[in-house]
Amino acid sequence: MVYLLKRNKIITGPYSVETLKRRGVKSTDMAWFKGLPDWTPVTQIDFLVDVPVIMPNNTAKSLIKRVFSFLK
């Protein structure tokens, strides 16, 4: 079975389960595969529970840290 991922409105794939396990997914990713009626959060798909979930980083916070790093 192959899976499509949607992250930030961008659709990528198709991916195999092995590829998803190797690269991981973000907890905010949506997945779709043949037979699934609509895009579903990857955290709600039972057989993807073995796929490592990469927590999304807080980009704004890290940008602020970089901008003000000279104050250290």
- pTM of full prediction above 0.85: no
Give me the residue spans of the domains in the chain. 3-71
The predicted structure's pLDDT at residue 39: 96
| Chain segment 42-54, per-residue pLDDT in tens | 888 887 777 877 7
Biggest CA–CA distance in the chain, Å, is: 54
Contacts of 52 (CB under 8 A, 6+ apart): 21, 24, 25
pLDDT tens-digit series, residues 13-27? 999 988 988 888 888
